[in-house]
Structure 1
Amino acid sequence: MTNRFSKKQLLLGVAICASVQILPAFAQDAAPQDAAAQDSASSGGLQDIVVTARKRQESVQDVPVAVTALSAEMVQRQDLTSIEKIAARTPNLNVGRASNGSGAQLTLRGIGSSSTSIGIEQSVAIVVDGVYYGQGRIINEGFFDLGRVEILKGPQALFFGKNATAGVISLTTADPTSTPEFKARAGYEFKAEQAQIELVGSGPLSDTLGVRVAVRASKMWGGYYRNVADPVTYSTFDIADGSLEGHGATPASSQAPGEKELLGRITLKWEPTDRFTATLKASGTHSEVNNSSWNYVAYNCPSGVSQLNGYACKKDFVTHQNNIPTDIAANFPFSKKDGQLYNRYKSWGITANLGYELDDVNITSVTNYNWNNNRWACACDFQSSAAGTWATENSSFKAFSSELRALTSFDGPINLMVGGLYQKTKRTFDQFIMFANIEDSTQSAANRYLATTKTSFTDGETTALFGQVTWKVVPTVELAGGVRYTHETKDSYFTQPYNNAAVTGIFRDQFDADGLGEVTANQTFNNWSPEISLTWKPTSGILVYGAYKTAYKSGGFSNGGINSKFSADPLADLTFNPERAAGFEGGIKTTLADNQLRLNLGLYSYLYKDLQVDFFNSPIFAFQTLTADARTKGVELEFEYAPRAVEGLNIHGSINYNKASYTKFPEAPCYAGQSIAEGCNIVLPGGGVRQNLNGTTLSVAPKWTGTFGVGYDAEIGNDLMLGLNADVRYSSSYLASGFGNPDSRQSSYATLDAGVRVGSADERWQVALIGKNLTNRFYVTGVVDGPSTGGASGGATSAHADQLGFGTLPRTVMLQLTTKF
C-alpha cells in the first residue's frame, strides 16, 4: 500500500467514523429526557449562517446552491484575511499566485483560468459587498474586518453575471454596530517576521447614522521563501558597434516577499426610517513586495537540476532570482534605480448600497467605482542566468458599475425578482522587456537595453438584464426560473512601439511595412443564461433541491500578448471567444437532532464549451488563447456536529469527489519538449505539431479532497474562556499543467491548521496562537514551463522543460493579541 493511498483511506475513514458516531445522537433525540438533560440541551447547537447566494438574505440551509459559508468569528479565529488563506482551508478551491499576466489562477471544482494572460477574466468570480471584481490581481487586496465569506460552487450567472462559470467567492465587510465598539489587534508571525496591527472603531453618530472605521498595517522583516541565487554577469552585445559589455546582476532579496501593506475602510450607514437604508463604503489598499515572482519554484526538472544554472530542483520554499543590473536599471522604465525586483499594488474603491422596503417590494441599488494600479519588476526567466530575462510592467484597471433590482414579497404563491446592471471598464497596459543579451547604443537611455516594448488598452461596456420567478406550487415545494441577458462590447488596441533591430525578424514594429503592427479589435458579445431550480421541504430541517444552470464568461483581448512576425493573423492570436457552461446540480441539506447535526449531500455535472486555454506557441513566438470543451462532475458530502451536551464543541468535515477533464481538445498544444512517442504527433495542415487531450485531466483538478476539523470553546474559571481548533485539509494528486505534462504532477498532500486562544469571557481581551500548514507541506497550485529550458516539441526524443510551480505558504505561526471595549 502506498503512502498516498493510506492518507486517502485515513481521511475517508475519519470522516465516516465521525458521522457514524454522530448518528446515535440523532436517534436518541426522540427519547424521553429528564429535567437535567433538558437543561443541558437548552444550550449549544449549530449556529445559522445567513447568505446572499440569491441576492436576498436566506439561511445557508435554505438555498438550492452548494455553499461553503464562513462566519465572521471563524474568519477572525483562523485569520482568513486573504483569498489565498480562504482557499487553503476550503476543499476544491485553489489559488495560484502568479508574477505576470492576470496575477492569479483561481480554480474551483477543477475549473479555472490560466494566469498567463492579463485579458482573461477568472472563471471564479470575486464579489465584494455585492460588486464584481474580475481581475486576478484582486488577491493582492487584504480582506479584513469581514462580516462573512461565501464560496458558491458551480455556475452562478443568474445573480452574479458574467465570469462566474466555476463559482463565486463572495465577501461581505462588517457594518457599523448599534452600540459603540472599539477593537485593537496586534499580531506577530514568526516565519516571515511580520508585525501586524489592526484598529476598528464602530458605533452610532446619531439615532440614524452609524460609522465604522477599520485600518490594518503590516510589515515583514523576513519572508516565507529564501532566495539563494548567486551573482551573475549579464553580457550585452551592442548591435551598433559590435562591442561586449558585462553587467553585474546581484541576488534579489534573500527573504521574500518582505511585504509591506496599509489597508483602510470607512463605512457610513444611514437609516432615517425603518424602510430606507443607505450604506457607503470607501476602501483603499497599498501593498508592496520585494519580488513579483517570489513563490516560483523549480520543483521538477528532467535531470534533477536547473537547465539554466545547474542548481538542484526540489520541492522546497527556495528560489533563485537576481535583480536587474544596477547600471541598466538606472534608465529602465518602471525599474527601481538599484534594480531591486518588486511588485507594488495600489487600489481604492467606493460602494453605495441603497435599500428601500415597500409593503410588498424591496428595491436595492448597488453602485461602485474601483481602480487599481499594478507595477512590477520581474526576473522573468524565474531562475536567473547569464542569459537572463528581465521585464517591468505598469497596468491599471478601473470600473464603474450600477445595479438596480426589485424583489417582491407578496403573500401569494408567486414572487418576482427583476434587475439590471451597467458596467464600464478600462484597462491600460505597458510592458518593457530585456532579453537575448542585446543592446543598441544609438537608442535613448530608456530603450538602449530593451529587446521589445508593448502598449495596449481595452475599453469595455456591459449591459445586463435579469429576472427570476418563484412559484410556491404547494407550501413545501418551490419552483424558480430565471434568465440573464448580457450584451458586452470590448474595444482594444495593441502595438509594440520599440523593438531592438536584432529582433525585428521576430516582433512586428508599430509601423511595420506589412501594415499589421497595430492591432485593433472591436468585439461584441451577446448571451442568454437561463436557470431553473426545484426545492422541496418535506419537513422542517430538510431541503431537497435540483437545478439546471448555465453561465457565460467574457471573450476578450490578450493585452499582454505578442505580435509575432511569424504569425499571419495577429488579430486572431490576441482575441478569444467566450466560455459557456451548462449542467445540473442537486442535493439534500438536512439539519437534524434538534439543531445539533448538519448533513449535506450534493451532486453535479457540468459541460463547458470553449473553455479558455492560454499558451505560448513557440514556433510562431506568440501567445494564443485556444478553446476546448470539458466536463466536471462529482459528489460532495459535508457534515457539522455541535452537541448540546458539550457546549462549545464543533466537529465538521467534508469529502469531495470531482472528475474534471477535457471532452474535446483534439488539437491541443504540446507541452515543451514533448516527443512524438509521448503524443505530440498531430501535424497541422498549416504547420506545427499538436496533441490530442480528449479525456485528459484539467489543470489543478484533484479527484479527491476533504477536510476534518474540531473546534472547542469553554469557560475555564475566573471569567476566562479557552478556545481550541484543529483542521486538516487533504488533496489527492493532480496535474498543475493544463496540457497533460506528467512532470507537473503535484503529489497528494495534507495540511494542518490549528489554534489556541485564551481570553476574558466578556471578550475584553484575548491572546491567540494561530498555526497554518503546520505539516510544512510544499505544494503548487499552478505551473509554467521554465523559460529558455526544454527543447522543441514533436521530435523523436523528448526534451522537457523545467517545471516552475506557484508555491503556497510554508508553516506559519502567528501570536495575536486582541482587546475590545
Structure 2
Amino acid sequence: MLTIAGSVIALSGALAAPAFAQDAAPQAAEAAEGGLTDIVVTARKRVESVQDVPVAVTAISAETVTRQDLTSIEKIAARTPNLNVGRASNGSGAQLTMRGIGSSSTSIGIEQSVAVVVDGVYYGQGRIINEGFFDLARVEILKGPQALFFGKNATAGVISLTTADPTDTVEFKARAGYEIKSEQAQAEFIASGPLSDTLGIRVAVRGSKMWGGYYKNVAAPFNYATLDVATGTAGSVVANPAPKDEPGEKELLGRVTLKWEPTDRLTATIKASGTYNKTNNNSWNYVAYNCPSGVSQLNGYACARDFVTHQNKLPAEFAAQIPYGKDDGSLYNRYKSWATTATLAYELDDVTLTSVTNYNWNNNQWACACDFQSSPAANWATENSTYHAFSSEFRALTTFDAPVNLMVGGLYQKTKRTFDQYIVLAGLTNSAAAPEDEFLATRKTSFTNGETLAAFGQVTWKVIPTVEIAGGVRYTHETKDSFFTQPYNNPGLTTIFRPQDDPDGLGVVTAAQTFNDWSPEATITWKPSRDLLVYGAYKTAYKSGGFSNGGINSKLSSVPFDDLTFDPEKARGFEAGIKSTLMDNQLRLNLGVYTYGYNNLQIDFFNSPIFAFQTLTADARTKGVELEAEFAPRSVPGLNLHGSINYNKAKYTNFPDAPCYAGQSQAEGCSVLVGAAFRQDLKGQPLSVAPKWTGTVGAAYDTAVGNGLMFGVNADVRYSSSYLASGFGNLDSRQGSYATIDAGIRLGSEDERWQLAVIGKNLTNKFYVTGTVDGPSTGGASGGLVAAHADQLGFGTLPRTVMVQVSTKF
C-alpha cells in the first residue's frame, strides 16, 4: 500500500537506472497539470513503480520529509499508522513496533523486529533513534516480514532510508530553523554538484542546540542515606535535581557523498557520515502516568499524563569516582557514530551486478536515574557500550527479454558489541574497595562477537504477460560468542549478585551460539491492466537469537546461562493486496490483508523475586486489513488528499508461563505456579503497543500566487485506538485512544530561491506513551491474594512543537 503526501521520489544511486534522471521533467510537468505522479521504490532491491511491487509499502518523498521535518525515526513513526517508536533510557534504547510486533527495550542484546536500513545497509541497534536523518532522497516503510531481500531481523518490517546523491549541476541549499517549545535552533547546509564530467560530490551538514526542552523536570533535592559496609559508618549525601528543561539536546551531523560514473555501465558511490548527539538526561521522557493511588509510591507527587518528570543527579561525591560519571553528578546521554558505505553497480547487457560494503561504529555513554522518579531510595547507573559492524553484500539481477529472470546474492557480516555498566544501589558503599568501585553496588562487563553468512535467490517467471510468479529463499548461518561477568559486587549484596570468582563456577557466563535458518517466500501477481495489480504472497522471516549483555547474573538464579541467552524469533504467514490507479491517474486505492504467526517472539522482563533480567519467548499472531488512498484532481493542480485506515489484531497464541506484572494478584490471573514462582497464561491477550485501529487523513496544497511566489499549506491527522503499553497484560498501562495533528504553511519563490515556513507537530499537545515499565521499587510481590500494583512509567512522546524555518537554494 501507499501513502504519499508529496511529489515524485526521484531515485538516485546505484539502484536507479540513468533514465530516471530524464524522467524528472515529465513528472514535474504532470504535477503542474494535476493528477498523481509516478512513484518508484526499491522494496525488492530493484527499481519498480510502487503500484507494480507486490509489497505493502508506505512511501514518503524527499519533499514531504522536508515539508514535515521528518528527520528522525521517531518523527517518521509519529505520522505513520501501525508504526510506533518508544524511546527508552537503557537496554536497547528503543522499542520499534509495527503491526503490534516489536521487542521490549530492556535488553541491549535483542535486535529490533523492525529493521532500519540506510542506503541499503542494515542497522539493527535500537540506539539508531539517536541518529538524525536529513537530506533524504526517499523513505520506504515496508510492512510485514521482509527476510528475502533485507535479511535477518526484519520479522515485523523495514524502515528503509536513502540519502540524496550529488546533482548534475552545482546547487547550494541552506536552511535555518527555530523550534519555539524547546528553544532549539537548527542550521543545515548542503553543497552538491559535479567535480568533473564523471565525478560528483555532495556535502551535507546539520547542527542544532536546545536552550530549553520538551519536558519539565520538577524534582527537589533530597538526602541520600549511605552505609559503608567496610566500617559500618552511616552517612548522607545530597542528590540535586537534574536540569529543569530536558533533554537540552546538542547535535551535529555530517555526510559526504562521492559518485563516480566513468561509463554508462559503471556507477560507484561512497558515502561517509558521522553523528554526535548529547542530551542532559537519558531518561528525560519517562513519566509516571498512572499510579494505583494517583500519587507516586516513592515521592508522593501526583502522577499525570503530562510532559513532566522527576529525576535527580548522581550525588557528586559518587560521580567523581564512578567511571563515565560527570564530576557534578549530571545525568546525560552521549551518542557518537560514523559509517562508510561503498556501492558499486555494473550493468552488462542483461545483468546488473551490485556490491554494497559498509563499516559502521557507534558508542553510547550515559548516566541514568534508573528508578526514573528519584527518591531517597534511588538508584543510579552509568554505562558505556560500543558496537562495530562490517558487512558486504553482492547480488546479480538478470533482465533478459524472456519469461524467466533471476536475482542471486550473498552477504557477509561481522559484528562486535562491548558493554560495561556501573550501578549505585541501596546506599551501600565500601571504602575498602578500589576507588572506582567504592560507591558501586555492582558492575558488569560483557561482549558479543557475531558473524553472519547468508545466501539468497529469487526466480521470477512471467507465466503469461499479465501473470508473474516469484519464488525465493534466504539461507542464514550465524554464530555469536559472548561473555558476561560482574567483576565487583558490594559485600552487602553478595546474596543478590553472583561474584566473578563465585565457588559454584557460575560467576562467568560464556555462550557459543550457532543459528541456521531457511526463509522461503513466494508471490503471485496478476496485472490485468496498467492501472490494476492483484497479488498474494507467502512470507517467512527470522530474527537472531542471542545474548543479553546487560542482564544480571543473580545469586538467586541457578541457571544464569538460560537467563542471559534466548532463541531466534521466526515468522510466517500470508499477505494479499489490490493496488489500483483510477480516474485517469487522479486516484490511487490500495487494499491489503494479512495474517502472520510468530514463534519465539522475544520478550524481556525483570524477574524481581530473583533480581534477574530474563528473555522469554512466546507465540503470537497478527492479522489485519489496511486501506490507503490518494487523490490529486486535475481540476485543482497542486492539491493532494490522502488517508488510510488500518485494522490490526495482535495477540499471544501461546504464552503459558508468562511473567506477572508487579503486584498482580492471583485473582487477576497471576495464579500459574511454575516451580516456586507464580506466573500467568497470556494466551489470547494483546501484545504491547498494538492498537486495533489506526488511521490518517490529510491534505496538501501548493499554488502560484503571482509575482513569482508559491504558497503552500498541509495538514495531517493521525489516529490510534487504545492499547496496552505493557506486554504482560497490565491494565494499568493502557494508553487511551488519541489523535494528533501536524500542519505547515509556507511561502516562497517559484524558483525555490527562498522559502519561509512554519511547521507544527502534535498541535493538540496530546501526551501518549509508546512503551512502559513497572516503576522500580514500587508495587508489591506478584501472586498474592491482594493486588499491589506498581507505578507505570511510560515512554512519552514529543509535545506540541512549532518550528519557524527559512531556507534558500541557489
TM bin (shorter chain): over 0.9
Instruction: Give the corresponding residue for 2:500.
Output: 510
Moved more, 505-514 or 415-424: 505-514
Instruction: Give the corresponding residue for 1:758.
Output: 747
Taking a change above 3 Å as real, the CA distance of residues 389 and 41 of structure 1, as seen in their structure-2 partners, is closer
Give, in whole Å, the separation in 2 of the partners of 1:187 and 1:674.
Answer: 48
Instruction: Give the corresponding residue for 1:13.
Output: none
Cα offset, 1:612, TM superposition: 0.5
Give 2:50's aligned amino acid: V
Post-superposition Cα deviations, 1:264-297, rounded to whole Å, max 9, x if no partner, equal 0000000000000000000000010000000000
Which consecutive unaligned segments of at least 5 residues does structure 1 have? 1-38
Q: Does 1:671 pair with 2:661?
A: yes
Aligned residue runs from structure 1 range 577-656, under 5 A: 577-656=567-646
Give, in whole Å, the separation in 1 of the partners of 2:746 and 2:50.
Answer: 28
Give 1:475's aligned amino acid: P
Q: Is the 8 A contact 1:299 1:313 kept in 2?
A: yes
Q: Does 1:390 pair with 2:350?
A: no
Instruction: Give the corresponding residue for 1:297.
Output: 287
Match of 1:65 among 26, 35, 55: 55
Give 2:146's aligned amino acid: Q
SS of residue paired to 1:668: coil
Give, in whole Å, the separation in 1 of the partners of 2:571 and 2:352.
Answer: 31
Cα offset, 1:40, TM superposition: 11
Instruction: Give the corresponding residue for 2:148.
Output: 158
Match of 2:433 among 425, 443, 446: 443
Give 2:804's aligned amino acid: L
Give, in whole Å, the separation in 2 of the partners of 1:185 and 1:620.
Answer: 53
Give 1:205's aligned amino acid: L
Q: Is the 8 A contact 1:127 1:171 kept in 2?
A: yes
Instruction: Give the CA RMSD over aligned residues.
Output: 0.9
Give, in whole Å, the separation in 2 of the partners of 1:64 and 1:664.
Answer: 31
Give, in whole Å, the separation in 2 of the partners of 1:129 and 1:96.
Answer: 24
Q: Does 1:807 pair with 2:802?
A: no
Q: When the two structures are superposed, what TM-score results if normalisation uses the length of structure 1?
A: 0.95
Q: Does 1:697 pair with 2:686?
A: yes
Post-superposition Cα deviations, 1:585-610, rounded to whole Å, max 9, x if no partner, equal 00100011111100000000000001
Q: Is the 8 A contact 1:654 1:706 kept in 2?
A: yes
Instruction: Give the corresponding residue for 1:567.
Output: 557
Match of 2:417 among 416, 427, 442: 427
Give, in whole Å, the separation in 2 of the partners of 1:262 and 1:48.
Answer: 35
Aligned residue runs from structure 1 range 136-285, under 5 A: 136-285=126-275
Q: Does 1:727 pair with 2:716?
A: yes
Give, in whole Å, the separation in 1 of the partners of 2:217 and 2:688.
Answer: 27
SS of residue paired to 1:502: helix
Give, in whole Å, the separation in 1 of the partners of 2:599 and 2:721.
Answer: 26
Give, in whole Å, the separation in 1 of the partners of 2:270 and 2:678.
Answer: 55
Aligned residue runs from structure 1 range 29-68, under 5 A: 43-68=33-58
Give 1:720's aligned amino acid: L
Q: Is the 8 A contact 2:31 2:638 kept in 1?
A: no
Q: When the two structures are superposed, what TM-score results if normalisation uses the length of structure 2?
A: 0.96
Match of 1:315 among 305, 310, 313: 305
Give, in whole Å, the separation in 2 of the partners of 1:219 and 1:419.
Answer: 43
Aligned residue runs from structure 1 range 74-113, under 5 A: 74-113=64-103
Give, in whole Å, the separation in 2 of the partners of 1:559 and 1:42.
Answer: 55
Identity in percent: 77
Match of 2:526 among 516, 536, 556: 536
Q: Does 1:130 pair with 2:120?
A: yes
Instruction: Give the corresponding residue for 1:741.
Output: 730
Give, in whole Å, the separation in 2 of the partners of 1:430 and 1:458.
Answer: 12
Cα offset, 1:444, TM superposition: 2.0
Give, in whole Å, the separation in 2 of the partners of 1:607 and 1:463.
Answer: 26
Post-superposition Cα deviations, 1:218-256, rounded to whole Å, max 9, x if no partner, equal 000000000000101111011112111111110001000
Give, in whole Å, the separation in 1 of the partners of 2:608 and 2:241.
Answer: 29
Give, in whole Å, the separation in 2 of the partners of 1:42 and 1:505.
Answer: 73
Give, in whole Å, the separation in 2 of the partners of 1:812 and 1:52.
Answer: 33
Q: How many residues end up aligned between the 2 structures?
A: 782
Instruction: Give the corresponding residue for 1:768.
Output: 757
Match of 1:710 among 696, 699, 702: 699
Give 1:794's aligned amino acid: G
Give, in whole Å, the separation in 2 of the partners of 1:339 and 1:40.
Answer: 59
Give, in whole Å, the separation in 1 of the partners of 2:371 and 2:336.
Answer: 25
Q: Is the 8 A contact 1:40 1:644 kept in 2?
A: no
Give, in whole Å, the separation in 1 of the partners of 2:653 and 2:37.
Answer: 42
Instruction: Give the corresponding residue for 1:366.
Output: 356
Instruction: Give the corresponding residue for 1:782.
Output: 771
Give 1:788's aligned amino acid: S
SS of residue paired to 1:61: coil
Q: Is the 8 A contact 2:710 2:749 kept in 1?
A: yes
Cα offset, 1:41, TM superposition: 11
After the TM superposition, list the runs of 4 or more consecutive aligned residues in structure 1 that deviate by more than 2 angstroms: 39-42
Q: Is the 8 A contact 2:712 2:746 kept in 1?
A: yes
Give, in whole Å, the separation in 1 of the partners of 2:598 and 2:630.
Answer: 32
Q: Does 1:662 pair with 2:662?
A: no
Give, in whole Å, the separation in 1 of the partners of 2:74 and 2:136.
Answer: 15
Give 1:487's aligned amino acid: H
Q: Is the 8 A contact 2:31 2:37 kept in 1?
A: no
Give, in whole Å, the separation in 2 of the partners of 1:42 and 1:231.
Answer: 61
Q: Is the 8 A contact 2:51 2:580 kept in 1?
A: yes
Taking a change above 3 Å as real, the CA distance of residues 486 and 503 of structure 1, as seen in their structure-2 partners, is same
Post-superposition Cα deviations, 1:630-649, rounded to whole Å, max 9, x if no partner, equal 00000000000000110000
Which consecutive unaligned segments of at least 5 residues does structure 2 have? 1-28
